[in-house]
Structure 1
Amino acid sequence: MAVRDHPLLSDPIERRRIIAVCAAAIVAITANITALLYGITTVFPHLFYFPIIIAGYWYPRRAPFVAFLIAIIYCIPAFLLTPQELFTTASIIARGIVYVIIGVIISVLAIRMRQSEQKLHDLIEFLPDATFAIDQSGTVIAWNRAIEEMTGIPKIQMIGKGRYAYSVPFYGERQPILIDYAMHPEIEAKTGYSAIRRIGDIIEAEVIAPVLHDGKGAHLKIATTPFYDPEKKIVGAVESIRDITEEVRTRSALQNSNRQLAALSGIIRHGLSERLEELYRHLTIGIIRFNDPATLTFLEEIEKAADGIRRQITISRDFREIGSRPPAWMPVQETITGLLNRLDSGGMIVHSWMERLEIFSDPHLSVAFTHLIENAMAAGATALVVTYQIHDGICTICFEDNGPGIPDDAKERLFSEGTERSGHGLFLTREILAITGITIREEGRESIGARFVMVVPPEGYRIT
């Protein structure tokens, strides 16, 4: 086998590394021999640290052997070219031992660093989402298996590439993308991102990548964050990409279905309302025309049934858009403040201390809060306090008023449709909250005031 066919010499990068180590060693040997010929025994021996450190970093498992070899190379001419004195001999031997010790230490540290890097590499490599990383100069340093499958480009063709090469598989041209914006906020990512959200150092966004899926395009959800050195300087960034094309299509199909169902239910409600108005007219005529008590009682029962149908129509109208849009993180304080600006509280004072609390709920959260506030107003309360507390990972939100309160025997029926004092408002409130697993109950005391408590699951709240 030819020398150039050796595994360490067949790779151009390995050849350059070996040349660098040998060059550093030759310079150190030449400088030391020259210095020894002139009787100089200090300073120049430190040059041997360079090949030891370089070899230890690039070839950590061979570093002790390289250090031992350099120690021998240093000691032999030092013994031959210096006077044989006890102090000089001890100094030469000690320096050779130091070379070996430094080689061993660098070897151990480099091996541990490689192991740490390998763990990070394995973590990125086997992430289910397509993930890549770049260093401070914009050179790709990681390109995992999932992104290989997404783009069709193997890591061997992408690792080491720079100048925005990582944007080409997605957008067809070299341009700054979200990962560049994470490292350099002054750089404007040219691709049109939507739903951009920053949580600490993490930036989330959605974008359409026109090149993926054989040019058909793909809807992507992206999260990117920079990483730092011990001095808190940005040294690179990582970007994780998820293909949500099918999810978006499903969401769009559901929205279209909801619109069609809403239109159909609107037509049905309109038709039922017209028939109800006709029924009420006949009932009114019947009550005027007939005097028989049995007949009037029968007509009253029919009117009650008609009232029930009207109530169901009203509920279906209010429920028309509930759940039609996906849940989202809703800022509670902003939601309450916004609805108070639109709502006439009738002189009732509302205090809200929600700070930076956000809950994951249906976008119609303001409707639920409106019914709770209107319920307090209808009861004659003059003050309403809204607070929250977190205990054992559970968040509770309390709406507490100073009204007459609710009797114990009425609490079980409180959230049933059409039974509470504000119409079907509390029933609607419960249904809106239940979409994301939030429960509500009444814990107040009669004659002291009502106290509605919402219990938010651990994954359904956050402090921003």
Structure 2
Amino acid sequence: MAYQNVQQARFITERKQAEAALRDSERRLAEIIDFLPDATFAIDLTGKIIAWNRAIEEMTGVKAENMIGKGNYEYALPFYGMRRPILIDLVFMPDDEIEKKYAFVKREGDILLAEADVPLKGKIHLLWGKARPLYNGEGNIVGAIEAIRDISERQRAEEERAKLEAQIREVQKLESLGVLAGGIAHDFNNLLMAILGNADLALFSLSPASPARPNVEDILRASQRAADLCRQMLAYSGKGRFVVGRYDLSEIVQEMAQMLEVSVSKKATLRYSFHSDLPPVEADATQLRQVIMNLITNASEALGDRSGAISVSTGVMDCDRAYLSESYLDDNLPEGRYVYLEVADTGGGMDKETRRRIFDPFFTTKFTGRGLGLAAVLGIVRGHQGGIKVYSEPGQGTTFKVLLPAREWAPEDRAPSAAQSDQPLTGGTILLIDDDPDVRQVGSQMLKRLGFKVLTAAHGQEGLEIFRANMGEINCVLLDFTMPEMGGDEVFREIRRLRRDVCVILSSGYNEQDVTQRFVGKGLAGFIQKPYTRANLRETLNRVLGSK
């Protein structure tokens, strides 16, 4: 009996020592865990919480004294608002139903890794978790530990970085295509100069009764359409601004109303909402009209054969960087006041992939090609330091919102323009310098028809030699901008050095603003864009020579 009492006493003592050792071990574990940077807690084999560190207190707002010693999945309450198994419980027993609640669960030996969207403190947070067993000195599992990290900010940063990288790739693609489109348009305009110019000269020579006249007129119309396509290509390249002025966007849309009505489907209803007293935008009016027409045409195509409405509205708004950064291809536009044009349709809308490609050249959701319509819109808007926002969902219609920087009216902006001089040309000698033989040939014929003596040169050096030899009689130089070896800018400088009072008109397949910005304040007399007709040339020469 005495022996049994001794044995029982020893068992009780050993159990108390083991429990004391376990409590001491749990205390030391809790102290270590308390200093970990990640939100961390631990449980024993019964599911009772034995550690709840400061980081998890901060994350959940629940203090350790309210959690230590509690079981029955108490640790899940701050995260999910309910008692249920979570990642730490998978340490003891795999469960497919629990794993389905996570974005993924990955096993690395006895370690579990997982991510999940968690409704923490009223907001959805993306949490990363890592759980593993706790072992005693003999290698037996005595509990489990889980570390939790809020990676929401990291995910947002990664998404922002991915968005920025996608924007950079898109800008680089547009810039590459823009350079290609601009180069093609320039070269094609030189070819059109020969076609359009010769057709124009032929038409001038034909009598009204000539059977060939309709054919020549068809050539002229086709050439003009090709020239329009070149202008769209230049617009897509962002080099398509011609004559810049300050305009009321509402007035431009109102002036186009009748043309827009006949351009849309008969089943489409056009609705207008114009903001009164808009601040002006600094733009090329022709290109603004192209933007409006292309957006309306796109909206009409979106309706297809169905009845629907197309709403056109204008307004002005203050835009901050956050708003502007959501525009298509954020070009880091400065925050401030922007005038907007909004075109909305009640068509079928677009999915995310279609929205991503909608501004690609020749992209279409229909069998027939869309051409450069929306691509040109993007190029024009970017060329005007503006932005585009697109709102669309399948079945919800589409809205395009064009943003252009608001300006201030100047007194001369709305003053009536002086009538252009229509006095007849007075003759004289013109030196035509162009490396394209077709341009020289047709340009020379046009100038002769206008009553001028013409000297021609095939390149810059030859042009300078002819100019030096005939300096006294040359009234004007018609100078090509893009030439091999000696470019138009170099020839211009040398001509002006030789004789400062001579009129120099620059000619190019590129647009005026893109070319003439190199000659600001240097005495350039005028500019004419290829391809041009005899009437265009006469108007330019009248303006330049009539002012002398």
What TM-score bracket applies, with the shorter chain setting the length?
A: 0.3 to 0.5
Greater per-residue helix proportion = 1
Greater per-residue strand proportion = 2
What TM-score do you get using the length of structure 2 for normalisation?
0.32
Determine which structure has greater relative contact order: mean sequence separation of CA pairs < 8 Å that are 6+ residues apart, divided by chain length: 2
